[in-house]
Amino acid sequence: MASHRLVLLLPVLVLFTITTGYVMASPPAVKAAYWPSWIQTFPPSAIDTTLFTHIFYAFLLPSNVTFKLEVSESTASLLKNFTSTLHQKNPPVKTLVSIGGGSSDPKLFARMASNEGSRSIFIDSAMEVARTHGFDGLDLDWEFPKNPKEMVDLGQLFEEWRVAIRKEAKSTHRSPLLLTAAVYFSVDFQWDETYRKFPVASIAESLDWVNAMCYEYRGSWDTSATGAHAALYDPNSNISTSYGLASWVRAGVPRNMVVMGLYGKTWQLKDPKVNGIGAPATAVGPGDDGVLIFSQVEKFNKENSATVVYDAKTVSTYSYAGTSWIGYDDSRSTTVKLEFAQALGLRGYFFWALSYDSEWEISKQGKPVSGHELQLPFRE
């Protein structure tokens, strides 16, 4: 019997990397993914490294007092095992340690980035951790600077970080560490009546690429109606991946520096007879804050003989059975989104998160196929 709830699939993020101001040649394509370190049932040895060029370790946090990365003895062992295992399985794969995450305190990063001294401590600590444990790069996931001043501080942090990376590489005769960042789906936005815009010039000059988090457009914070949580298109608003990516490019970020993301949330249908996108809902569904992994969605569909619908208007998939409604990305919607990225001349993609696609059904969609009509946000 179907549960009287509605569910959306976990995030699958698609990343596009950048041509930075200091790199002349086009960088190689990126096929990346994040590995959630807290999932004990999915160790690094379970990762199919042949599907990816870059894999992120999620997450480390800086100390609230010293701003140095906090690495316990057990975490140090996990970090070392992560890099050694992946490099042994597939030597060319690059590993990056991601700092922050959605559950981290943005005020901590704001205090760290507010002055040169604390920025320097943070930068030096991050680089030391990366080198000590065999990582190829670093990723910052500060969600999000809350005002224009914090955006300026973020830009200053990136610029000083790049200088430190170049200096360290020159003095040690090693390849420079990669430097990336997770950013909002749009280059500018307004929250709590405060307008803010990412420091585009600093990003283009200092980072190797950005991960624009093109997901959570709808979610458990609004249970009034179902929604395409990672819509490529939205005919009724600017809250869509196509709009967000276009905003980054129009702001001056090179096209091979933009990221597209897919993510899922859950609700409970109010009326099983009204079951499309935008249908009235009353609550979140099962999972962690209304989240299911792809294999769980497939299991739900099979066990409940659910009706599966591909929505071409938003480029998303949903299924329903009774009052249970699940919105997610499957191989079809993922393929269309990758085609969209390819058509815009973007560099690649990444998935959040590895443990959510343990059978690799979605991750294997890395090579887009033709045959879909795409609505590009702008033409050449």
The pLDDT score that the predictor gives to residue 244 is: 92
Please report where in the chains the tokens 């887009």 appear, as a residue. Answer: 368
Cα distances (Å, whole numbers) of residue 108 to 65, 123, 238: 9, 14, 31
Beta bridge partners, 350, equal 32
The pLDDT score that the predictor gives to residue 255 is: 83
Residues 292 and 303 sit within 8 Å (Cβ to Cβ): no
Find the catalytic residue in 143, 159, 205, 361. 143
The pLDDT score that the predictor gives to residue 18 is: 36
The pLDDT score that the predictor gives to residue 16 is: 40
Residues 324 and 7 sit within 8 Å (Cβ to Cβ): yes
The pLDDT score that the predictor gives to residue 215 is: 78
Q: Could you name the CATH architecture of 10-263+330-366?
A: Alpha-Beta Barrel (3.20)
Q: Domain 267-327, what fold?
A: Chitinase A; domain 3 (3.10.50)
Structure tokens at 137: 């790069």
Which of 306, 337, 370, 265 is CA-nearest to residue 9? 265
The pLDDT score that the predictor gives to residue 375 is: 65
For the question of residue 143 being annotated catalytic, the response is yes
199-221: pLDDT as tens digits: 999 999 999 999 988 877 755 54
The alpha-helical segments, DSSP class H, found in the chain are 73-89, 106-113, 116-132, 148-172, 200-206, 241-250, 294-303, 331-343
The pLDDT score that the predictor gives to residue 368 is: 44
The domain limits of the chain are 10-263+330-366, 267-327
236 CB contacts (<8 Å, ≥6 apart)? none
Residue 95: phi, psi to the nearest 5? -115, 140
The pTM of the full predicted model, rounded to 2 decimals, is 0.84
Which parts of the chain sit beneath pLDDT 50? Answer: 1-24, 221, 265-267, 286, 368-372, 379-380
Length of the chain: 380
Common-topology check for domains 10-263+330-366 and 267-327: no
Residues 16 and 1 sit within 8 Å (Cβ to Cβ): no
Instruction: Give the containing element (helix H, strand E) for 348.
Output: strand 348-351
The pLDDT score that the predictor gives to residue 222 is: 52
Please report where in the chains the tokens 């992120």 appear, as a residue. Answer: 56
